[in-house]
Structure 1
Amino acid sequence: MHRTEHPLLSPSLGSQKTLVSFQFGPASARPKVYVQASLHAEELPGMLVAHHLRSLLEKAEQDGRLLGQVVLVPAANPIGLAQRLDHKAMGRFELDTAQNFNRNYPDLALAVWEEVKPHLGNDATANVATVRQSVGAWLAAWQPLTELDSLRRQLLLLSHDADVVIDLHCDWEAALHLYSEEACWPPLEPLARLLGCEAVLLACESGGGPFDERLSGLWWQLAAHFKAAGLSVVLPQACASTTVELRGESDVSHEHATHDAVALLAYMEHLGVVRTDAAKELPTLPCTPTPLAGSQTLRSPVPGVLVFLAKPGQAMAVGEVVAEVIDPTAVGQSRIHAVRTEVAGVLYATVKERYVIAGGEVGKIAGSVPFRSGDLLGA
């Protein structure tokens, strides 16, 4: 194991933040898996999972079972970790710019398209190496002007050549679920099985430039550019990336974290990154993948005290009551408003606050029929 401190751009006199990464196995080893936690810095379950996963990887390395390479970034957002306001963590948006820490990553396919276009042909292995080299060179040449962009650059430098990228997040209150691009689902399906995901949400592209999709999107977008240009090139989907939502913000326990770390190690064994002496049968996937475009965000048209009648992970039919919004200042039946589902599916996430404003979000249902378009991710 090798621990590295990566200094970020200093935004002000006397201020310097550092990103820490751990590398297991030689830098040239394949497959390469990149795992990071808490890019939204108040989402802490992944940080504890990284703690337990690090111990498992150290043991595998000591036992000579590490065949590939793993890069682990346990605290991916030192900027957000330092942000607090009125005694509350503020780790989702940078306070200086109001930018989401998991949006606005550079379009890597667009960045290297003109560079790689003349150099790719029918050799898939050579093509992948050329694209990775070009992306690495582009990132090395990028000179960020802000601390936030220097963080984005460093995370991409560590992950751009990975075969699999796992970005550990969580929701407010939630069942364990994951998001991914459709092109990545086949290699990620075993991960969903091992984790026991209760919902899987897939999209061709979610929009907004999130970290994980810039890495996997690079490959299918470049392939689409070549097809549109009428050029015959063999370019595989050389990176599968996913955002894994490890339940809710308060689900920070050794029990959960140990389960998830063991599942991640088992996935690395499945990939051939870590040698296993006995092949293990994959468990059954607890859910059926659904389109992200079919996810309904439940909202309340009225303000009041929010009382949930359903829990994350529960299957809901159309018209079922998920929650009641109570207005204790009203009279008659208007005191109680029922928030009902408009699509059938799993209630995979709910808000943490128990007071909701008019138009405020209540929860999310994983519906099976697409009905949304455009940017599919929330703020």
Structure 2
Amino acid sequence: MHIDTIHLIPAAPGVQHRLQVLRFGPAGAARSATIQAALHADEVPAMLVAQQLRHQLAVLEDAGQLLGQIQLVPYANPLGLGQLLLGQHQGRFDLRDGGNFNRHHVDLAEAVARQVGPALGTDAATNQRLVRQALQQAADALHTHNAVQDLKHRLLQLAIGSEVVLDLHCDSEAAMHLYTLTPHAAPGSELGALLGARAVLLATESGDGPFDEACSRPWLVLADRFADRPIPLACFSATVELRGERDTGHGLAQRDAWAIIEFLRRRGLVAGTPAPLPAPRCAPTPLASSEPVTAPCAGVLVFHVEPGQEVAAGELVADIVDVDSGAHTPVRARSAGVLYARCGTRWAWPGKRLAKIAGTTLQRTGTLLSP
């Protein structure tokens, strides 16, 4: 294992933040994967899984089993790790301006299209090499003006050259689920089966530039733009939601790390015969058909459905108790599917997102992710 330390632009005099990057496997390998944990810094199960990966990858490296280089960023947001407000950890949004740490990552597709367009030919392998080189060059050339932008650019520079990028998160209270591009439904299903996911959510563009799409979506955009010249979708990326914020058991983390390594083995980055693929616990569904269940009023929130449970259209998901009158307002599912996540607090207000259901009938447009 080789450890690199990346120092970010100081946010203020006397304040220094750094990223730690752990590299396993042969240096300079032609193939690579990048795994990062807790870009939303208060999503701590991801950091526990990263520590299990650290141990398991070290064992594999010592045994000579790593065929590519695996980069592990065990905490992807040192800025958010230090954000404590009135005794509560606030790692999802930048307290400086309210920006979401996992939104508005740079889209490199246009810059790369201008650079490689004249050089693309009829050989897919050559085109893949040209695009990967241009993506790395474009990422390395990004200008930085503040600490948060520096963090985002540094993470992109680390991951943009990899063929597998896994961004490890969690939700408030949730079953295992993940997000990936629609053309990556097959490897997404494979990863979901290994992890025991209850939802695999697909979109060609989810909106607002999350990190995983900044790594993989340029390949899709370029393949569409230069349809007469073959460009493989040479980066599989996914946002993996490791259940809920409180799911920090060592046994869970160990199993999740094993599943991720098995996925890398199936991609040819780890030696050995892959374990049999478990039966999937869900079929992939469109992110556009995911139903955000919202509160119609304020009051005490009482759930009737657990994360991972299937619901029918019209089924009671929760009720909200009015603290003036004691009246109960029912909240029902509009579509059938799996309730894969719900909020962690029990006070509702009008418009508050209470839960998410992976369905197939809705057709949302615009920005598809939670704020």
Match of 2:356 in 1: 364
Displacement of 1:369 in angstroms is: 2.1
Question: Where does the alignment leave 5 or more consecutive residues of structure 2 unmatched?
Answer: none
* Partner SS, residue 189 of structure 2: helix
Displacement of 1:361 in angstroms is: 1.5
Displacement of 1:370 in angstroms is: 3.9
Verify the 8 A CA contact 2:295 2:351 in the aligned structure 1: yes
Partner Cα distance (2:356, 2:292) in 1: 5
Over residues 317-374 of structure 1, what are the superposed CA-to-partner deviations in whole Å (9 max), with x where a residue is unaligned? 011111111113205xxx1011100000000000000111122111011111241011
The letter of the residue matching 2:86 is D
The letter of the residue matching 1:109 is A
Match of 2:271 in 1: 275
Match of 1:240 in 2: 236
Alpha carbons of structure 1 residues 279 and 247: separation in structure 2 relative to 1, 3 Å? closer
**Residues 80-119 of structure 1: pairs in structure 2 closer than 5 A:** 80-119=80-119
Displacement of 1:30 in angstroms is: 4.2
**Structure 2 length-normalised TM:** 0.98
Match of 1:339 in 2: 331
The letter of the residue matching 1:363 is A
Match of 2:261 in 1: 265
Verify the 8 A CA contact 1:165 1:212 in the aligned structure 2: yes
Partner Cα distance (1:318, 1:137) in 2: 49
Partner Cα distance (1:356, 1:279) in 2: 46
Over residues 251-304 of structure 1, what are the superposed CA-to-partner deviations in whole Å (9 max), with x where a residue is unaligned? 11101101101111111221121112x442111111011110001111111111
Partner Cα distance (2:225, 2:178) in 1: 28
**1:324 matches 2:319:** yes
Verify the 8 A CA contact 1:223 1:235 in the aligned structure 2: yes
* Partner SS, residue 267 of structure 1: helix
Partner Cα distance (1:138, 1:60) in 2: 33
Displacement of 1:250 in angstroms is: 0.7
Partner Cα distance (1:77, 1:168) in 2: 12
The letter of the residue matching 1:246 is L
Match of 1:226 in 2: 226
Report the identity percentage.
45
The letter of the residue matching 2:195 is L
* Partner SS, residue 286 of structure 1: coil
Partner Cα distance (2:274, 2:115) in 1: 42
Equivalences, count: 371
Verify the 8 A CA contact 2:167 2:240 in the aligned structure 1: yes
Displacement of 1:375 in angstroms is: 1.1
**Residues 108-257 of structure 1: pairs in structure 2 closer than 5 A:** 108-227=108-227, 232-257=228-253
Displacement of 1:111 in angstroms is: 2.1
Partner Cα distance (1:279, 1:254) in 2: 23
Displacement of 1:186 in angstroms is: 2.0
Partner Cα distance (2:142, 2:255) in 1: 39
Verify the 8 A CA contact 1:319 1:340 in the aligned structure 2: yes
Verify the 8 A CA contact 2:200 2:283 in the aligned structure 1: yes
**1:36 matches 2:36:** yes
State which of 341, 344, 369 in structure 2 corresponds to 1:349. Answer: 341
